[in-house]
Structure formats: C-alpha cells, structure tokens
Amino acid sequence: MANIRIRNTNERLTTEESVREFLEAQGVLYEHWDPEKLPEDLRDKFILSDEEKAKILETYHDEITSLATRNGYKEWDIISLSDATPNLDVLLKKFEQVHVHTEDEVRAITAGNGIFTIKGEKAGYFDVELSAGDVISVPVNIPHFFTLMENRKVVAVRLFIDSTGWVAHSYNDPDFKA
C-alpha cells in the first residue's frame, strides 16, 4: 500500500482512503493490484529473463488490459532495477531530475519499492512511496521524477500510448528542494 509524504509540511498519509483521496485531488491515478497473484518465485527477483518478464505480464494481463483500455495505452513492458543493473547510479541521477512528459508516466510495481516525487497544484511537492501492487499514473505535463527507495530494487510494468514518443523534458523549478 502506498504512503505519501507531503514535503512542505512533512505530513504523512498512510491509509488507503487518505492516499486515494489525496492523489485523486492531484489528478493522479492510483490503483492497487493483488501482489499475491505473482508467482512466489518472482516476488523478490530483480534480475529477470525475458521468459520471467513475459510471465509477469501474463499474470497481470487482465489488469493491464483494463488500465490500457480505460486510458488509451497501447504498449507495455517490464523494467527491473537493482544493484545488479549496469550503471544504476548513472541511471538514478538521470531519473532524479524533475521533468515532464507529453503522455502519462505509468508504473505498476510488481516487486520492490520506488518513490515518485510529484509537484501538486496546491500541495507543492509530495513523495509517493510505492510497493508491490501499487499502480500510479502521473498525468501529462505534471512535474515529477522517480527514484528507488533504500533497498534499491524495483520491478514494474510500464504502460505507454507511444513508447517512441515517451521522452523526459527537463523542468527547471526553483521551488524544488531535493
């Protein structure tokens, strides 16, 4: 279950109802998929073969196609990051820059953890701490970035309208404090 930390007040939201209400007010889609559906041997595995990635996509096929149909996503894949990922620190430095996209940034966490830092219209920046089963969609042109939590491990389904056009555009914000 996701938790939220509002950066300018340090307030934490930890109940499903408060997380959903807050994200909905920010225009951010949040869902929770059953992490127990994933085969046990994939729940804590972060170096994945193509066959294992396909198994994750097969396991969540109904949820993925439902989300895709409702929001116009046409492509999806799996991303896996851990200390075994080549150049992980370089990738994280790139990820940890506030940016926007010309389409939604969607992640469905299937294993591990991650944090989306998002700029809300009224709340300022807030951190959404995600774990297995959490699904989030940051809307078009909303400043944000994604990084890993202390365990530095995540597996996620990514959904796109057009993966070739999914490019991060830098967003210079004097209000942002790392």
The reply, when asked if residue 32 is annotated as ligand binding, is: no
Burial of 39 (0-12, 13-18, 19+ CB in 10 A): exposed
What is the spatial distance between Cα 143 and Cα 125, in angstroms, rounded to a whole number? Answer: 9
Task: Tell me the backbone φ, ψ of residue 93, rounded to 5 degrees.
Answer: -60, -40
User: What is the 3-state composition of the chain as percent helix, strand, coil, each rounded to the nearest 5?
Assistant: 25, 35, 40
**Does the annotation place 99 within a ligand binding site?**
yes
For Cα atoms 124, 126, 128, give the angle at the middle one, nearest 5 degrees. Answer: 155
Cα 80 from Cα 107, distance rounded (Å): 12
Rounded to a whole number of angstroms, the distance between the first and last alpha carbons of the chain is 24
Q: Which residues contact residue 134 at a Cβ distance below 8 angstroms, ignoring those fewer than 6 apart?
A: 1, 2, 30, 31, 32, 108, 109
Positions at the binding site for Fe(2+):
99, 101, 105, 144
Positions at the binding site:
99, 101, 105, 144
Positions at the binding site for Ni(2+):
99, 101, 105, 144
